Chains A and B, each alone.
Chain A
Amino acid sequence: MLRFFKTTPPTALLGLFIILSVAIMGVFAPFLAPYGETEVVGAAYMPWDSVHLLGTDNLGRDMLSRVIYGARNTVGLALLTTAIAFTVGATLGIYAALKGGWVDQVVSRAVDVLMAVPPLILALMLLAIVGPSIPNMVLVIAVIYVAPVFRLARASSMNIVVLDFVQAARLRGEGNLWLISREILPNITSTLVAEFGLRFCFVFLFIAALSFLGLGIQPPTADWGSMVKENATLITFGDITPLIPAAAIAVLTIGINFVVDWMLHKASGLKD
């Protein structure tokens, strides 16, 4: 344990600390938040004081409580979305690389089509068709993110499947599932993890952009992206309320990427 702290760079430790704190905040939100997520506790835009540490928002809801609940909703949603996109995208990508031939062609061309349509427009149309509920939003964004994950997974696996140990396993008669999970996946994990870190952060931004266009997470659910949007007009008057959720997103993004950088560095084998 002590060795871990000694050998890990301070940025990565900071990153891990941030991720852990946000995770705890999300999981234990109902115990940590002084007020309810949607509870109206006072007048609108009350300044910071000892009762409402971060003041209140446009409807008089406690800002601190909403930031805490926001961690749960935002991170939960982003995690779910990215997890779906990676499970589907990576499996398909590795499978396509492994199989090659027409399977690879069909899936790759389908992904080309999916990627050629601008994501925001794809999201707008899909959400208009299925309706902007939270499960739908998770699925739509996941579908959009399957494409880049597939390409990355396929490209990295291509380099692995030609290697001797995979060929050997194939000759041994191992099944596809075994090949994917035991032979290929471990060798492309670091690439996928790096991508996971970035994609994960992009989900918040994507949701924020959608709520800017009126299709994001609907009120009164607290989510950091929408909270920035809801209070954005205050920026002009020098009020920093919208900075809090924006800063929360920024800190989490930086934390995650510190950890990702560290993992990449370890994987690259470069000693500096």
Chain B
Amino acid sequence: MSGIQKLVLRRIGLGIVTLFIVSLLIFIGVELLPSDLAQEILGQAATPETVAAFRRELGLDQPAVIRYLEWVAGVFQGDFGVSLANRRDVAELVAPRLKNTMFLAGYAAAIAVPVAVTLGILAALFRNSIFDRLANVFALSSISLPEFFVAYVLILLFAVNIPLFPSLARIDDATPFIEALYRTFLPALTLILVVIAHMMRMTRAAIINVLAEPYIEMARLKGVPRYKVILRHALPNALPPIINVVAINLAYLIVGVVVVEVVFVYPGLGQLLVDAVAKRDFPVVQAVGLFFAATYISLNILADVLSILSNPRLRAKA
């Protein structure tokens, strides 16, 4: 096990270095963006005088290097700074939205992952059957439609034509859990449809890939039933790619859902990040951007560790 521990520690170390570089890139990116917060907020109403006054107030008249170093110093003390736009603490601004983002991602994942893996196994089991073909076409069409299109169609079907669910996913701290599940059903369903195909196809492909291995032939020749061959012998060996594709889709559910947030007016991190980029609110962009990067990195580490643990051959190597 110490091999794995060493690996994890090394990956975490690398992850932190990556995060640092990402923060530097984000800072440079925001600096390179044309115009700044003062100009974006004042818009057409800006005059050179008011923009200058605004910049002085925000400290944007300081050199970029100094602003970045001040921000880094703050982060090392656990302080992510205040939003330039509304002077609110970034942590306080991000926290409720983070909760919302995790809620929706968790909701969609809790349904999508088991369904996708089960469908994938079934498709592998009954490959080239009508079921396999239908599942494949359904999966392909659902990934080939833009997210907002899937969302609009679901709204038309289940909110406008048959008024079962609300078309806006409005929740706040006071919303009871069951009610929140109900109100966010349509966005969750949209996300489920979007991620299910990728995971299902990968599960099917991974299992079929393993089926060509000699030990599977062996098991089959011994007369083990087809479903047992798949569940007992093929699945465990096909787990690493499945775990990887699940990790990629989980990351997507957390970092990539801004379009669904916009359509359902769901106050998540994606919308906050897009707004902050549009207004050049650098501390907010940094905080959300780093959280997204950290999510991606940790899910990757987790996936690799699980792959190693799940596979006897990889475990032996580690």
Within 8 A of A (CB), among B21-55: 21-22, 25-26, 29-30, 32-34
Instruction: Kindly report which residue of chain A lies nearest to residue B161, judged by CB atoms.
Output: A238
Check A213/B143 contact, CB under 8 A, given A118-B255, A125-B29, A236-B156. Answer: no
Instruction: Kindly report which residue of chain B lies nearest to residue A108, judged by CB atoms.
Output: B14
Docked-complex contact A213 and B259, CB < 8 angstroms: yes
CA distance A228 to B22 in the complex (A): 34
Docked-complex contact A213 and B274, CB < 8 angstroms: yes
> What string of 1s and 0s marks CB contacts (under 8 Å) between A110-133 and chain B?
001101111111001110110000
Return the contact of A124 from the options B14, B26, B274, B293 (Cβ within 8 A): B274
Docked-complex contact B145 and A250, CB < 8 angstroms: yes
Interface residue B133 (Cβ < 8 Å from any Cβ of A):
yes
Interface residue A272 (Cβ < 8 Å from any Cβ of B):
yes
CA distance A254 to B17 in the complex (A): 41
Chain B positions within 8 Å of A253 at CB level: 140-141, 143-144
Chain B's interface size range is 35 or more
Chain A positions within 8 Å of B33 at CB level: 125, 128-129
Interface residue B146 (Cβ < 8 Å from any Cβ of A):
yes
Main secondary structure of the interface of B (DSSP, over half): helix
Docked-complex contact A117 and B146, CB < 8 angstroms: no
Check A242/B18 contact, CB under 8 A, given A124-B277, A213-B259. Answer: no
Check A116/B149 contact, CB under 8 A, given A125-B29, A205-B144. Answer: no
Interface residue B191 (Cβ < 8 Å from any Cβ of A):
no
Check A120/B208 contact, CB under 8 A, given A113-B18, A129-B32, A129-B33. Answer: no
> What string of 1s and 0s marks CB contacts (under 8 Å) between B1-32 and chain A?
00000000000001001110110011001101
Docked-complex contact A129 and B155, CB < 8 angstroms: no
Docked-complex contact B211 and A242, CB < 8 angstroms: no
Tell which of A51-59, A170-178, A262-270 binds the partner: A262-270
Instruction: Kindly report which residue of chain A lies nearest to residue B194, judged by CB atoms.
Output: A205
> What string of 1s and 0s marks CB contacts (under 8 Å) between B244-279 and chain A?
000000000001101100100000001001100100
Docked-complex contact B289 and A269, CB < 8 angstroms: no
Docked-complex contact B212 and A269, CB < 8 angstroms: yes
Interface centre among B18, B21, B140, B141 (most CB of A within 10 A): B140
Docked-complex contact B18 and A249, CB < 8 angstroms: no
Docked-complex contact A212 and B148, CB < 8 angstroms: yes
Interface residue B128 (Cβ < 8 Å from any Cβ of A):
yes
Interface residue A158 (Cβ < 8 Å from any Cβ of B):
no
Interface residue B209 (Cβ < 8 Å from any Cβ of A):
yes
Docked-complex contact B211 and A270, CB < 8 angstroms: yes
Interface residue B127 (Cβ < 8 Å from any Cβ of A):
yes
Docked-complex contact A120 and B140, CB < 8 angstroms: no
Docked-complex contact B146 and A212, CB < 8 angstroms: yes
Chain B positions within 8 Å of A213 at CB level: 258-259, 262, 274
Interface residue A157 (Cβ < 8 Å from any Cβ of B):
no
Chain B positions within 8 Å of A235 at CB level: 149, 152-153, 156
Interface residue B68 (Cβ < 8 Å from any Cβ of A):
no
Chain A positions within 8 Å of B144 at CB level: 201, 204-205, 249-250, 252-254
Interface residue A11 (Cβ < 8 Å from any Cβ of B):
yes
Within 8 A of B (CB), among A175-228: 201, 204-205, 208-209, 212-213, 225, 228
Return the contact of A11 from the options B133, B148, B258, B274 (Cβ within 8 A): B133
Docked-complex contact B212 and A113, CB < 8 angstroms: no
Interface residue A257 (Cβ < 8 Å from any Cβ of B):
yes
Return the contact of A129 from the options B26, B29, B259 (Cβ within 8 A): B29
Could you name 5 residue pairs across A and B whose Cβ atoms are closer than 8 Å? A109-B17, A121-B292, A128-B277, A236-B156, A270-B212
> A109-B18, A249-B144, A261-B136 known; 11 other A-B pairs, CB under 8 Å?
A109-B17, A117-B22, A129-B33, A205-B144, A212-B148, A212-B262, A229-B146, A246-B146, A252-B144, A254-B140, A272-B127
The 7 closest A-B pairs by CB, nearest first: A253-B144, A116-B293, A208-B146, A118-B255, A250-B144, A270-B212, A254-B140
